Structure 1
Amino acid sequence: MIPAYLSELFKPQQYDANNFFLIAGPCVVESEELVMEIGEKVSGICRNLGIPYVFKASYRKANRTSASSFTGIGDDNGLSLIKKVGDTYQLPTTSDIHAHDEAAMAAPYIDILQIPAFLCRQTDLLLAAADTGKIVNVKKGQFLSGPSMKFAVDKIKLAGNDKVMLTERGTTFGYQDLVVDYRNIPWMQEHGCPVIMDCTHSLQQPNQTTGVTGGNPQLIGTIAKAAIAAGADGLFIETHPNPAIAKSDGANMLQLDRLEPLLQELVRLRKAIV
């Protein structure tokens, strides 16, 4: 399902209306060169495959395991570069916000405000995001079920904003792992929202004693294919030319040159089930 408020964002793009949409980009803005390279390459791939595309990068990482972890290049610089990617390649853009006062700050630069999973119950954050009038994408908390996300949706809609999306990103399984319950895709669609599968963060192995989050990126394709088969409206995939040197979430990201063959498979799968 691509609702009207998303279709408006995708208007400059040529795409198959029956296709899934893609949210993709690096975990965090590291440099202008990085975001422009990824924006150019992914937009070209998606244009060729008829996939509507939203560029994603975090302008700041507020939730890091270690105090010494990279958090960004500065809010203004990060947001300005995200906007530059969108303007240059005619793409809608998204980034996370972490506190209620960030909503109004970020809204002029991006089209979709993303609410991190750990913060999906923060009422003041949800209301501030709703008040901007932007699309709000709420990631399901690792500690919540799909049906319980109706309360996050209700908070945003009661604030007068019907432009809500939900993202499944796995459920805590013990101290250092996550599992994906694909029942959450149809359950969250019952809230009247498009549902996105986060194929990278659902493979995190958090809380490692090294201070760096681990992951299983070799399973991104498995997660993505199962999500398409389960009827997900969109996919979220973080990607980087060289994840080994990425400054955030390198253990979870898909290497950029592996994205196109995976998307080709997923488009064929989508056509087979629609």
Structure 2
Amino acid sequence: MSFEIGEYEVGNDSEFFLIAGPCVIESEDHVLTMAAELKEIAQRQNVDLVFKSSFDKANRSSIESYRGPGLERGLEILQRVKDEYNLPVITDFHTPDQAERVAEVVDMLQVPAFLSRQTDMLVAAGETGLPVHVKKGQFVSPEGMENVISKVESAGNERVLLCERGALFGYNNLVVDMRNLDIMKKLGKPVVFDATHSVQRPGSKGDESGGDRRFAPTLARSALAAGVAGIFAEVHNNPQAAKCDAATQLPLEEFESHLERWTNIDSLLKHEDAELSYE
């Protein structure tokens, strides 16, 4: 199955698209700067970009952690990204009553992993009529996502994307099973791989999550070799100073080199005449 997000056609057999941006909206200036930089990179690499940032990180480890500017201010900032850079945008929502308001701005809604089985969330997302990007819960099997699809489709909306972001294994660690990508593709929906959240170590620092960004590009290459519709990657110009997911966001200065390799692998898989190059 393939469908449109904004002007982009997305599907497992199509050239991959990119969901990227900073984890959380830290300021208007920061989001606009990141949107401009990522758009230029994506254009140079001929990749369709959907800009992502969160108005609220409602599942932070600590009550003291920065959450974001909130719904209304966050949506104002994302609207500026759309207006000034002509980019489709995606953001996550956290309660069913937020779906309709968020849908007034975004081109695709995201259901967070921890909420991926919540019926009211999925139905509310489906009722907006927009594409719905569902993060597979760290506790959900790939086969279990068939029920997730049914809940969204009960609202008459078949435009569902399934996102792999690792499974909880033991304590404070996530493991990616690449078999999940094939299993979810068999459910007939585009599959996205979340490279940066997959290398998290949830709550491993006590009051915040840790992780290791070194492994995110490798996992993304593996997912593209398996054939996916999209890659999700959080990117920051100064990850060490990021207000959320500082351990896993990819540095902006290195991102284009990663994206170039990802496009090579995707082309090699999906176009018989492509040649793989790491130069």
TM over 0.5: yes
**How far has the Cα of 1:4 moved from its partner?**
2.8
Question: What residue number does 1:258 align with?
Answer: 254
SS of residue matched to 1:141: coil
1:5 is aligned to 2:4: yes
**How far has the Cα of 1:147 moved from its partner?**
1.2
Contact 1:175 1:207 in 2 (8 A): no
Query: C-alpha separation between the residues in 2 aligned to 1:208 and 1:183?
Result: 26
User: Which of 64, 67, 77 is 1:81 aligned to?
Assistant: 77
Query: C-alpha separation between the residues in 1 aligned to 2:69 and 2:224?
Result: 35
Amino acid corresponding to residue 4 of structure 1 in structure 2: F
Question: What residue number does 2:31 align with?
Answer: 35
Query: C-alpha separation between the residues in 1 aligned to 2:205 and 2:39?
Result: 37
User: Which of 210, 216, 233 is 1:214 aligned to?
Assistant: 210
Q: How much identity, in percent, do the aligned residues show? A: 43
User: Which of 224, 238, 242 is 1:242 aligned to?
Assistant: 238
Contact 1:97 1:113 in 2 (8 A): yes
Contact 2:152 2:158 in 1 (8 A): yes
1:154-169 mapped onto 2 (5 Å cutoff): 154-169=150-165
Query: C-alpha separation between the residues in 2 aligned to 1:41 and 1:160?
Result: 37
Contact 2:18 2:48 in 1 (8 A): yes
SS of residue matched to 1:91: coil
Query: Which ranges in structure 2 are unaligned for 5 or more consecutive residues?
Result: 271-279
SS of residue matched to 2:231: strand
SS of residue matched to 1:147: coil
Report the number of matched residues.
267
- Once the two structures are overlaid, the 10-residue window that deviates more, 194-203 or 154-163, is 154-163
Question: What residue number does 1:183 align with?
Answer: 179
Question: What residue number does 2:166 align with?
Answer: 170
**How far has the Cα of 1:86 moved from its partner?**
1.7
Query: C-alpha separation between the residues in 1 aligned to 2:39 and 2:14?
Result: 18
TM-score if structure 1 supplies the norm length? 0.94
**How far has the Cα of 1:64 moved from its partner?**
0.4
**How far has the Cα of 1:37 moved from its partner?**
0.9
Amino acid corresponding to residue 103 of structure 1 in structure 2: A
1:143-165 Cα offsets, whole Å, 9 max, x none, are 11111100000111121001110
Question: What residue number does 2:43 align with?
Answer: 47
1:187-228 Cα offsets, whole Å, 9 max, x none, are 111121110000000000012243110011011111110000
Question: What residue number does 2:273 align with?
Answer: none
Query: Which ranges in structure 1 are unaligned for 5 or more consecutive residues?
Result: 12-16
